[in-house]
Structure 1
Amino acid sequence: MERTPDRIRALYVGADPHAAAETAAALEREDASFDVDPATADDARSAVGATSYDCVVAAYDLGPTTGVELLRTVRSSRPDLPFVLYPSAGSEAVASDAIGAGVDDYVVRSESEGGHATLAERLRSVVGCGISEDDEARRLRTFRKAVEASGHSIYCTRTDGTITYVNPTFESVSGYAAEEAIGRTPRILKSGEHDEEFYADLWETILSGEVWRSELTNSTKDGERYVVDQTIAPVEGDDGEIERFVAVNAEITDRKRRERQLWGLYESMTGWLEADSRGEICSLVDRQLSELPGFETHAVYRYEESTDRLIHTLESGDRKPDSSAQRAGSGGRSIARDVFETKRARRCERIDDVDSDAECDVRSGLFVPVDSHGVLFVGSSDPDAFDATDEAVLSVFTAALAEVIDRIDYERELQERNDRLENFASVVSHDLRNPLSVADGYLELARETGSQAHLDEVERAHDRMARIVDDLLWLAREGRTIGELRPTSLPEVVERAWEHTNAPNATLRVDCTADIAADPDRLQQLFENLFRNAREHAGEDVSVRVGHLGDGPDFYVEDDGPGIPAAERDRVFETSYTTAEDGTGYGLSIVETVVEAHGWELRLTESDAGGARFEIRNVARAETT
């Protein structure tokens, strides 16, 4: 018979002496029949051998060791001594490890009032059982606890397949209550997915005494299919004959569904080969991710070098800076920014919000870097929705995406280089021919008449050819590349550019004050060409004004000249196009190139005075440190 002694002498092992003493005293206050000695892990090893304790209670975290390691040490010298693990927080992994090591009970600590009452009650039960039970009985009791607490579906059958036991997880996964399953066979779970040869191989394996393992598609009581990773092991009796089978089933439905989805996504990458722009590849990725039900929301954050920001392009075509889970970032950075800079994927198991534009209440997410191009995000309304499989496959996905973007960028750069060479050939064959013909004509007249005025015209033609060559070389060498973006004073660059314009009779009004992120040399070239364009088309006494568009850093340059007719505004940025007698036709092409290199936007309209007005938008204000 089981009995409980009048007095129970226990050893409580904690991380430090003070904490151990507090818990020991609390247990004695909870139950007057307890005599509890406090100890640390180092003291406990010698105390167990020197004192006849009825049981040992240990915290899980013991500083240099753990309660499970202490349990193994105690078992080596006192295999019959009851041992209870008393962790500060519940953990399925810790519980499984402890049960595997032979713990007698597992009680999660509660800091609420009377929180030690449960521990005291379980200690009396464990000590009582320890007095009367032999080792075999205690092992059976521990095994049953492990099976009942397991997160896997477990059932036992006779050799003919009749079910004799199911654990609670089997009931919750299959939908069959224990009394409905016991006495029947696992055929109640058949989904029709596997043929008879599959089951014949299963039975042949386990009846021969070998362990069988495979993925299996089952059906719940309600007819819903689910996938398990099943292991069936034969259990032999004392005579060596098989008495029963134990089946352990790890439910992997979500994982298998996600694997199929993601590998399907990977196979769809062949369509990327036809993409010839970043916009097209982003649209393909967006559509493919939208077709996967496992990803309730997703986003592609593209790195914009001109502003040093991650930009989320919305379906509407609008653009917005990354704001993903700002609170969860590192050092104030967003999660996406952190992933982009470290180039390491990050799973966020429980977060409140990732993006205010998300179509679901995002509770978990997976951020994966796309090399130096940006970050891919997928999210779910379920906590802990993504695992290592998702991360691995999406990492392959983004690596391929980065390769495609690199190829697109290279092809675009190659095309631009070819275009510049074509422009060069055009200038050599045509644009330089006109001023050269003019120079030849006036030179012939000068020879015939001896007039100095004709030589002045020759000089003007040579000056124009020199400017054309300078502009052409600049476009050929620089193209759409820019240097490092630095905090740049807009009014200072404007003043420097005006000094190089050589317009002594013109006037400049500067109404801008912002510091912006720009390549100052390229920005100065932009202003020099706009100022030169104003002088060439509006005359030497032109008035030019530079100011801000609204309250932001965006700016405009306008003059009081005759303006540019609406019908010609689309053509003025073409290379070689000019309406001025001595214009090169490259100034506004250079302006457009500088704007595009910075990632800005350029718009040509009319000023209040009727002249030309160039508006530059999407300019980033310089960041202050």
Structure 2
Amino acid sequence: MSRGEGAGTAHAITTGQRETPIRVLHVDDDASFAELTSTLLERESTAEPPLEVQTETDPTAAKTHLDEVDCVVSDYDMPAVDGLELLDEVRQRYPDLPFILFTGRGSEEIASKAISAGVTDYLRKGGRSDRFGVLANRIRNVVAKRRAERSAHQSTRLLRNVIDHLPQCVFVKDVEGRYLLINENGAETYGGSPEDIEGKTESDVNDPETAAKFREEDRQVIEQGVARYISDQHVVDEDGDERVERVMKFPFDIESASTPAVLGIAEDVTTERRKTAQLDAAATLVERLRSHLESVGSRHNESDGAAENEVDEKLTALVDELETVITDPQSVEVQSVLRDDALD
């Protein structure tokens, strides 16, 4: 077994910083050719990221190194285990690990079998004098693709984790009203999970009138390119219960799909609105009580009813304290309003 470091051709992507080396496992029962491949890959030293080549002449032993590498380069014609059998083992354990068949025995039949088995790339050993440069470049390309896909997957998982922890409904819809993304809280309002709702349209999850209303709002946001704020959006769920939402919709371009979309955030403010209505009603009641007490007080001033005056004073104090609780609940002890002796 031997190791070496090398680099590929000028087609590799550079970032201005030294990139993470690509760990390559080269499997070939011909020890001399394996060493030659490692040496020539070393000479391809003009591009990043560097290649760290590990050679193995025994395919069975190579299986123990699969979790240590970024790419497998394998010969096809080997006595104990051929390249396609090794590929099958790799695919069972690491479905997305790049696997390049680098073989001197090439045929359409072998290439077809390799493609069916999930080979990442296929390259003949013979032919062009720069085949090792081509091999280095292909290694970089397939590994770069895998790293990009993994990075995108990790970013997607991070985004999903973040939005699923938000108490609001967060969604992205395309111009057809199709949900491209929705978080768990948003999906729950439709009685499902994100997987249930994503891919469906407004018409699939809302009644025709509501769906048409939402579609029109989305259309205006997309066409005008301006965010829209809806302070009180009334929605009736499948159980017939009404909720009130505060909604913000933003124009949102999906670069990967090259299509305009709407990013929305909807917050359930039903309880907030109900409390506001209750406070408004309480404030109205307090004002009516105050008016009544003033009327009673003016009549009491014409008599000497000391007991009645005492009751009026207590009622007046209670109303004043109740008003304070409504307008500034942190300024008094709520229990003081509920004392039994306040009404004695």
TM over 0.5: no
Higher normalized helix content (fraction of residues): 2
* Structure of greater relative contact order (alpha carbons < 8 Å, 6+ residues apart): 2
Q: Which TM-score tier does this pair reach, normalised by the shorter chain?
A: 0.3 to 0.5
